[in-house]
Amino acid sequence: LEYSTVLFERATVERWLGHLTVLLEAMVADETCTLAQLPLLTEPEREQLVHGFNATEAAYPGEALIHELFEQQVERTPEALAVQYEGESLTYAQLNAKANQLAHRLRGLKDASGAPLVGPDALVAISVERSLEMVVGLLGILKAGAAYVPVDPEYPADRIAYMLGDSQAKVLLTQRTLQERLQEAARGDDEGSGEILLLDDEATYAGQPQDNIGRQETGQTSRHLAYVIYTSGSTGQPKGVMNEHRGVVNRLVWMQGAYGLGEEDRVLQKTPFSFDVSVWEFFWTLLNGAGLVMAAPQGHRDAQYLVDVIERAGVTVVHFVPSMLQVFLASVQTGQCVSLRQMVCSGEELPLVLQQRCQERLPSVRLDNLYGPTEAAVDVTWWSCDPAQTEGRVPIGRPIANIRMYVLDEQRQPVPLGVAGELYIGGDGVARGYLNREELTAERFVRDPFSEEADARMYRTGDLGRWRPDGAIEYLGRNDFQVKIRGQRIELGEIEARLAELPAVREVVVLAREAARSEPG
C-alpha cells in the first residue's frame, strides 16, 4: 500500500476504485451483460468528460455569412492594405469592389434554359496559382451566393477531371496561363465542360457593378455551403467535404477572440488553397482588418524564400505543418524574422523536440498546436505550447468555442480519463458531409447522443487520443491506414486501389515507412 501511495495520486486511486465499484455493481445487476457493455465510469467522471471539459458555449454571429463579415470590415477600414503579392496590392475597398464585379458577373451566367448557374449550394471550381486574383476569386464566389471548390493546378490532369466531374461545378475560374491545361482536363470530365472565366482578364469584370449583393438577392443562409475541399479517399478517388458558412464563421470568430489580430498584423498566405488551413489564412485576416501577404506559387516549399518574405513584408503570423517548421527553423538565423509574433502548427503531430527548437530559435514567438480534420471547419482543439514543458507529448489541447470533443470506445461510450479512445467531434464546426457519398457520410457523421439537440451530429475522426486530467487531449495516432506525409493527408487505400487497376498487379499493400527521423535542424 505504501508503494502505491508513492506512485499514484490519491485522486487517481479514488477514480479507479470508483470504476471498480461501477463495474462490480453492473455485473451483479445484470448477469447477461457482455464484457464490452459493462460500464466503468462513475456519474461525476462521465459528467466531467462529456460536459465539464466541453463547456465551450460562446456567442458568435451564427446567422452571418463569411463575406458579410468581410463587407463589414471593408466599411471600417476601406483604405487599409488587404492583400499584397510581390509588388502589387489591393486595399479593402479595392478588393471588395473587384470581388463584387466578379460576383455580379457570376450571377449573370445562365444555362441553356436561362436558369442561373450560380446560387446557394451551387459549386464554382477555382484553379489558380497564388496571386491577388486568387483572393478576388474566392470572395467573388462567396459573394455570388455559391461555394468554392479549390482545384490545385499542380494536380495531375485526371485528378482535376475527376474533381470537376464529381463536383459538377458549372463554372470554373482560372488564369490565362492555366486555361489550356484545364480545358483539356475539363474535357475528360464526363459532365461536359461548363463556363470558364479568366480572373486575370479585365473583360471578366468589365461593366459589372462594384456594389455588394445582399442575401435577399442570393437567398443564402449560414447553413449553405461555403466551400468543398477534396481529401484523399480510400476507395481510390478523393472525396469532397462540404463545409457550411456557420461552422467556418464560428471557427474564425473563435480565432479572433483567442489571438486578436489587428490592422498592423501581416498574415502569410502560403498554404495551398486546397487545404483548409488556408481558410483561416484568408478569412481570419480579411475579417479583421489585417494584411494578407501572398507567398509566391512555389514559395511554401522553400524555407529560404519564406525567411525572406517574412522579413521583407514584416509578417507577424504564420502557419506551419510540423515537418515544414523543422525545415524552416534550420534556415532562420539568430536575429531574423523578428516581426513574427505568432506561429500556428497543425496538420500532424508536433514533436516536443520541435517545439523546443522553435522556442529556442524564436523565443519571442508564441507557438500554438491546433488540431482538426477538414470535416470539422479547419480546427477543433487548441493548445498554447508551454516553454516549460520538458517531457511527454505536446497536447492538441482543449475544444475551441462551440465544439465538443469526445473520446469514445467501440460502443461509442466515453472511456475513462487517461485511457485511449477514438476522437469524435460534435458542435457547430461539423461539416454537412461528403459530396455525393451518402453511405460514407452516414458512416462517419453520426448522431451525437451526448447533445440535447435531437439533430446534433458528431464526426468520427479515426484519430486516437486521451483526456488529461486538466481537460486537454493528447493525440495518439490513427486507428486506420490514413497517414500524413509532409502534412498531406493520404489514405493508403487510395494508392492501393489505383495500383490494383494495373493489369500486372494482383494484390497490393502500401505502407508508409518512417525513414530514420533526423533531429530537427
Q: How far is the CB of 507 from ligand AMP (least distance, A)?
A: 27
Q: Is 395 in the site for ligand AMP (CB under 6 A)?
A: no
Non-local (6+) Cβ contacts of 232 within 8 A are 238, 239, 482, 489, 490, 491, 494
In the complex with ligand AMP, the residue whose CB is nearer, 85 or 382, is: 382
Q: Is 191 in the site for ligand AMP (CB under 6 A)?
A: no
Contact of 380 with 401, CB cutoff 8 Å:
no
In the complex with ligand AMP, the residue whose CB is nearer, 131 or 346, is: 346
Q: How far is the CB of 337 from ligand AMP (least distance, A)?
A: 22
Q: Is 373 in the site for ligand AMP (CB under 6 A)?
A: yes
What are 447's strand-pairing partners? 457
In the complex with ligand AMP, the residue whose CB is nearer, 97 or 241, is: 241
In the complex with ligand AMP, the residue whose CB is nearer, 166 or 491, is: 491
Q: Which of 121, 302, 308, 349 binds ligand AMP (CB under 6 A)?
A: 349
In the complex with ligand AMP, the residue whose CB is nearer, 100 or 461, is: 461
3-state helix, strand and coil shares in percent for the chain, rounded to the nearest 5? 35, 20, 40
Q: Which of 463, 474, 491, 494 binds ligand AMP (CB under 6 A)?
A: 463
Q: Candidates 3-11, 173-181, 298-306, 371-379 — which segment interacts with ligand AMP by CB under 6 A?
A: 371-379
Pairing of strands 317-320, 342-345: parallel
Q: Is 382 in the site for ligand AMP (CB under 6 A)?
A: no
Contact of 467 with 418, CB cutoff 8 Å:
yes
Which runs of E-coded beta strand occur in 433-497?
433-434, 445-447, 457-467, 473-478, 482-485, 488-491
Contact of 368 with 382, CB cutoff 8 Å:
yes
Q: Is 374 in the site for ligand AMP (CB under 6 A)?
A: yes
Segment holding 269, helix H or strand E? strand 266-269
CB neighbourhood size of 147 (10 A): 25
Q: What is the SS3 assignment for 295?
A: coil
Contacts with ligand AMP by CB under 6 A: the residue count is 19
Q: How far is it, in rounded angstroms, from Cα 477 to Cα 387?
A: 24
Per-residue mark of binding to ligand AMP, 100-139 (x: CB under 6 A): ----------------------------------------
Per-residue mark of binding to ligand AMP, 470-509 (x: CB under 6 A): -----x--x-----x----x--------------------
Q: How far is the CB of 276 from ligand AMP (least distance, A)?
A: 6
Q: Is 461 in the site for ligand AMP (CB under 6 A)?
A: yes
Q: What is the SS3 assignment for 359?
A: helix
The type of residue at 116 is P
In the complex with ligand AMP, the residue whose CB is nearer, 83 or 492, is: 492
Q: How far is the CB of 352 from ligand AMP (least distance, A)?
A: 12
Q: Is 403 in the site for ligand AMP (CB under 6 A)?
A: no
Q: Which of 48, 54, 231, 243 binds ligand AMP (CB under 6 A)?
A: 231
Going 123 to 124 to 127 to 129, the CA torsion angle's sign is negative
Q: Which grid coordinates belong to 436?
A: 455525393
The type of residue at 266 is R
C-alpha distance from residue 31 to each of 19, 21, 37 (Å): 18, 16, 12
Q: Rounding to the nearest 10 degrees, give the CA dihedral for residues 132, 136, 139, 143.
A: 170
Contact of 303 with 295, CB cutoff 8 Å:
no
Q: Is 396 in the site for ligand AMP (CB under 6 A)?
A: yes
Q: Which of 148, 230, 371, 424 binds ligand AMP (CB under 6 A)?
A: 371
Q: How far is the CB of 378 from ligand AMP (least distance, A)?
A: 8
Q: Which grid coordinates belong to 464?
A: 486516437
Q: Candidates 39-47, 180-188, 211-219, 342-350 — which segment interacts with ligand AMP by CB under 6 A?
A: 342-350
Q: How far is the CB of 240 from ligand AMP (least distance, A)?
A: 12
Q: Is 326 in the site for ligand AMP (CB under 6 A)?
A: no
What are 491's strand-pairing partners? 482
Question: What SS3 string covers 11-71?
Answer: HHHHHHHHHHHHHHHHHHHCCCCCHHHCCCCCHHHHHHHHCHHHCCCCCCCCCCCHHHHHH
In the complex with ligand AMP, the residue whose CB is nearer, 378 or 415, is: 378
In 3D, which of 81, 409, 96, 110 has the Cα closest to residue 266? 81
Q: How far is the CB of 277 from ligand AMP (least distance, A)?
A: 7
In 3D, which of 164, 250, 161 has the Cα closest to residue 435? 164
Q: How far is it, in rounded angstroms, from Cα 210 to Cα 402?
A: 36
Q: Candidates 351-359, 370-378, 443-451, 510-518 — which segment interacts with ligand AMP by CB under 6 A?
A: 370-378
Q: Which of residues 2-21 bind ligand AMP (CB under 6 A)?
A: none
Q: How far is it, in rounded angstroms, from Cα 363 to Cα 174?
A: 41
In the complex with ligand AMP, the residue whose CB is nearer, 159 or 489, is: 489
Q: How far is the CB of 322 from ligand AMP (least distance, A)?
A: 8
Q: Candidates 50-58, 136-144, 367-375, 402-410 — which segment interacts with ligand AMP by CB under 6 A?
A: 367-375
Please report, as ranges, the residues that interact with ligand AMP according to CB under 6 A: 231, 276, 346-350, 369-371, 373-374, 396, 461, 463, 475, 478, 484, 489
